[in-house]
Amino acid sequence: MTVLLFLVPLALLLGALGLMAFVWSLNAGQYEDLEGAAARALSDDDLEDTQT
Amino acid sequence: MTMDVDFSALATQGPDGARRLELALDGMTCAACIFEIEAALKRVPHLAAARVNYADRRLSLEWTAPTFDFGLVTERLRRMGYRARPFERESGEREERETSRRLLRCLAVAGFASVNVMLLSEAVWLGGDMDTVTRDFFHGVSALIALPAAAFAGQPFFTSAFAALRARRLNIDVPISLGVLLSLAMSVYETLTHAPHAYFDSATMLLAFLLLARYLDHAMRRKTRAVAANLAALRAPVACRLDTDGAKSFVPLAALAPGDRVLARPGERIPADGVVVCGQASLDESVVTGETQRRAVTAGDSVYAGAMNFDGALTMRVEAAAGGSLIDEIERLLDKATAARSRYMRLADRVSRLYAPLVHIAALATALAWLAAGASLHDALVTAIAVLVVTCPCALALAVPAVQVAASGALFRAGVLLNSADALERLAEIDTVVFDKTGTLTTPEPRVANAREIEPSLLELAARLAHSSRHPLARAVAREYPRAATLDGAREEQGAGVVAIVDGVEARLGDPRFCGLERDCAAAAREEASIIAFRHGERTAALVVRQTLRADARETIEALAARGLRVILLSGDRVAPVEATARALHIAEWRGAMKPADKVGRLEALRAQGRKILMIGDGINDAPALAAAHVSLSPIDATEIAQAAADAVFLGDGLAPIVTTIDAARQAHTLMRQNLALSLLYNAIAAPLAMAGMLTPLIAAVAMSSSSLVVTLNALRAGGETKREPSMQPAQQREAAA
């Protein structure tokens, strides 16, 4: 029983962190262009930038 | 067309001093375009950021330096083959995005809460030997999650239910809110009294499912509207404004004000309603009135926005604000027609209007019956809540939007953009199709009517030559080979034609006299048509240019007739050409010379006979009829006002999307009905069990989820079968190449 007192809040905390991450990404506009984001993953632009 | 318009004046300045501008882009075909555009713009000096939104086909730009040269951006884009136009995000769209985000946020919270509460509740249900302290602890934690989550995620329902109650109405949100609030209140009571069960899980799951349905519904409408707004922005032309000092500047139409002097050159459309100040020209007003015969105008005549200037430059004064113009009359008709249609009630609304009171009565009757049977107030209330929760309209709420999302996605891929959410339902009900002639059954722009009789290589050469001219007749020839390369050294002789040297031989395209082909052309001359001559050495051709039937017009009419639909042709054009078209397409019912009000009147007469009409039209004169019909479609090259009045817009040169749309709508309608039947069946089984007090919360939750799942899976069938027509290519893309 006592272990539940730690584990249940811990589980909820982790879940809440995930929720916060989602809300943050939503407010940052990451769901505005889902099709483009899928394609951007294939781009190597960012590599070029670090090399130059 | 080399015309650099300075759109940077339309940029908005943020509080940080940065200027932002959003452009609608045309010509993006695949994801690689994202990188191509962004890489090219990275090298524009002083441009701070350029980011492509691929889903909406938009490009947002950001810069701070006042020295930033905006022309470079348009120039680079043009060189890569993209067309860009400033896109003014309407306040409505901003609001929609906010609503969409809010729904997603609520959905995330409800989803998080329901999963966690469900874990705890399941432990309680399944752990039969759980001691009271642990159980109370679990219920307490559930309450801590569920109460704030419901307070946040339930807002969309609570506000709507409250508004309905204040207006003394019942909507579907009332039983939802009542169910959620009652089950939460009861659960808190049960927790405090150390009872064996609480219903926090039911409340949160209910919210999560309903929010999902609402989000889907919203996302579908937002997506098509965003793309439709893009297309409108792309099509919005620029006007050449004459400033007081005589300087010319190109401005977007939105920037025109009454009193401005505007230059309309041959081959351009008249940008606004106004009065000709000087110059004379013949105008093709088919888009405005449906009439195909050209009208000669001179100083003092009124001209209407949308008319095509065929020859001669006009200087005109903008008078858009003066009441009594054609647009004003059309807008009046439009308002009236739209008001009549807004009374249409969606399938889901009709069902839920009956459903909401029924659920309340059932729950109340359950409570009373249990009390009468001698149960305690507590037990009676618990059973009543079970009824409210189990008859949760989850599946009911998902039934229609899920089908709409799947069907509109399929139509989107087939090149049809839906403007309104209930268009599919109305489309499925039609039994009569009314066509406009000019621009709908016929191509909106004149084409070479005898193209098939001319040797292809010769026609291609003529088209290449025609690409060097802006004359409307030459553009019609150029349209035959939209991607042909222009000829080097082509020179236009004003009012006569274009000339160039090809393979050492002179090639001429233009006036028959200019090409020395008067006799040949006189033979080819027919009514309703213009002749343009072409000579390349000894090879000659007389090209007949007029509005031609769309390529698949006949097949489409036949396909519609085969589906048992009554086809009618109503046109603003003169009787003779309308009759010719009707005969060519085997349309038995037709009328010509109809004014906008006549068309609306005819539609109303048909409606009085109980016909459900699909109106298809493109012109400014069709807009009221489009709004008055039961449902309406416009081709993408239609005027903006017609597109705005239509329920859906289809892309491409052909009419085939009409049949595709009707078929898809009928299938979607069947699926919606099936879904509603399924969810009502589920309720018919679950509600009596709940009333009898035989449902444990676990069974209720499982039944509820699986009913939603079944409905969603059924809806997915609407997405499968429509294929993209091979001939489909946005008309404007071709125009851009021309």
CA distance B470 to B466: 8
Among the listed residues B433, B432, B428, the one whose alpha carbon sits nearest the alpha carbon of residue B674: B428
Chain A residue numbers with beta carbons less than 8 Å from the beta carbon of B116 are 11-12, 15
Distance from CA of B109 to the nearest CA of A (A): 7
Any idea which of A23-37, B211-225, B374-388 has the lowest mean pLDDT? B211-225
User: Helix count (H) and strand count (E) of chain A?
Assistant: 3, 0
Q: What's residue A4's pLDDT?
A: 81
pLDDT of residue B354 exceeding 60, the answer is yes
Among the listed residues B129, B593, B649, the one whose alpha carbon sits nearest the alpha carbon of residue B423: B649
Q: What's residue B91's pLDDT?
A: 61
Paired tokens of B274: 């106004």
Kindly state the percentage of chain A with pLDDT values over 90. Answer: 23
Any idea which of B86-90, B248-252, B576-580 has the lowest mean pLDDT? B86-90
Q: What angle do CA B593, B594, B598 make, to 5 degrees?
A: 155
pLDDT of residue B301 exceeding 50, the answer is yes
pLDDT of residue B323 exceeding 70, the answer is no
pLDDT of residue B270 exceeding 50, the answer is yes
CA distance B264 to B304: 12
Close Cβ partners of B499 (under 8 Å, ≥ 6 residues apart)? B490, B491, B493, B506, B507, B508, B509, B510
Kindly state the percentage of chain B with pLDDT values over 70. Answer: 89
Contact B281, B312 (CB under 8 A): yes
- Cα dihedral B626, B628, B632, B636, rounded to 10, equals 20
Nearest-by-CA chain A residue for B51: A36
CB count within 10 Å of CB B651 equals 23
Q: What's residue B326's pLDDT?
A: 66
Q: Give the one of B34, B56, B145 whose C-beta lies nearest to A39's C-beta.
A: B34
> B258: helix, coil or strand?
coil
pTM above 0.95, yes or no: no
- Has B436 been annotated as catalytic? yes
Q: How many CB pairs under 8 A join A and B?
A: 59
The H or E element containing residue B284 is strand B281-284
pLDDT of residue B3 exceeding 60, the answer is no
Radius of gyration over alpha carbons of chain B, in Å?
31
Tens of pLDDT, residues B559-573:
999 999 999 999 888
B5: confidence class by pLDDT, cuts 50, 70, 90: low
Chain A residue numbers with beta carbons less than 8 Å from the beta carbon of B32 are 39
Distances, alpha carbon B550 to alpha carbons B416, B443, B612, B657, in Å = 17, 5, 25, 13
pLDDT of residue B1 exceeding 60, the answer is no
Any idea which of A38-42, B322-326, B472-476, B604-608 has the lowest mean pLDDT? B322-326
pLDDT of residue A21 exceeding 90, the answer is yes
Q: What's residue B465's pLDDT?
A: 85
Is residue B330 exposed (0-12), middle (13-18) or buried (19+ Cβ within 10 Å)? buried
Does residue B265 come out as left (phi exceeding 0), alpha (psi in the -120 to 50 range) or beta?
beta
Question: B251-278: string of b/e by CB count within 10 Å (b at 16+)?
Answer: bbbeebeeebbbbbebbbbbbbbbebee
Q: What's residue B724's pLDDT?
A: 42
B723: confidence class by pLDDT, cuts 50, 70, 90: very low
B616: confidence class by pLDDT, cuts 50, 70, 90: very high
Angle between helices B697-716 and B656-691 (to 10 degrees): 170
What amino acid occupies position B528?
A: E
Kindly state the percentage of chain B with pLDDT values over 90. Answer: 12
Q: What's residue B24's pLDDT?
A: 81
Any idea which of B332-341, B433-442, B648-657 has the lowest mean pLDDT? B332-341
B698: confidence class by pLDDT, cuts 50, 70, 90: low
CB contact under 8 A, A4 and B137: yes
* Maximum pairwise Cα distance, chain A: 59
Any idea which of B369-378, B486-495, B544-553, B605-614 has the lowest mean pLDDT? B486-495
CB contact under 8 A, B54 and A39: yes
Half-sphere exposure for B292 (CA within 13 Å, toward CB): 27
Q: Give the one of A1, A16, A36 whose C-beta lies nearest to B52's C-beta.
A: A36
| Most confident listed range (B102-106, B300-304, B391-395) | B102-106
Pick from B29, B36, B42, B54 the residue to mutate for testing the A interface (most A CBs within 10 Å). Answer: B54
Chain A residue numbers with beta carbons less than 8 Å from the beta carbon of B105 are 23, 26
What average pLDDT does the structure give for chain B? 81
The H or E element containing residue B597 is helix B596-608
Paired tokens of B34: 């994202």
Main-chain dihedrals φ then ψ at residue B274, nearest 5 degrees: -175, -170
Among the listed residues B323, B326, B277, B335, the one whose alpha carbon sits nearest the alpha carbon of residue B306: B326
Nearest-by-CA chain B residue for A11: B116
Q: What angle do CA B679, B684, B690 make, to 5 degrees?
A: 110
Q: What's residue B327's pLDDT?
A: 66
pLDDT of residue B257 exceeding 70, the answer is yes
Q: Give the one of B35, B56, B116 whose C-beta lies nearest to A33's C-beta.
A: B56
| Most confident listed range (B139-153, B650-664, B697-711) | B139-153
B380: confidence class by pLDDT, cuts 50, 70, 90: confident
Chain B residue numbers with beta carbons less than 8 Å from the beta carbon of A46 are none
Q: What's residue B726's pLDDT?
A: 38
pLDDT of residue B52 exceeding 90, the answer is no
Among the listed residues B107, B532, B18, B584, the one whose alpha carbon sits nearest the alpha carbon of residue B311: B532
Tens of pLDDT, residues B193-222:
888 778 888 888 888 888 887 888 787 767
Q: What's residue B188's pLDDT?
A: 92
Q: Pick the residue with more confidence: B722 or B451?
A: B451
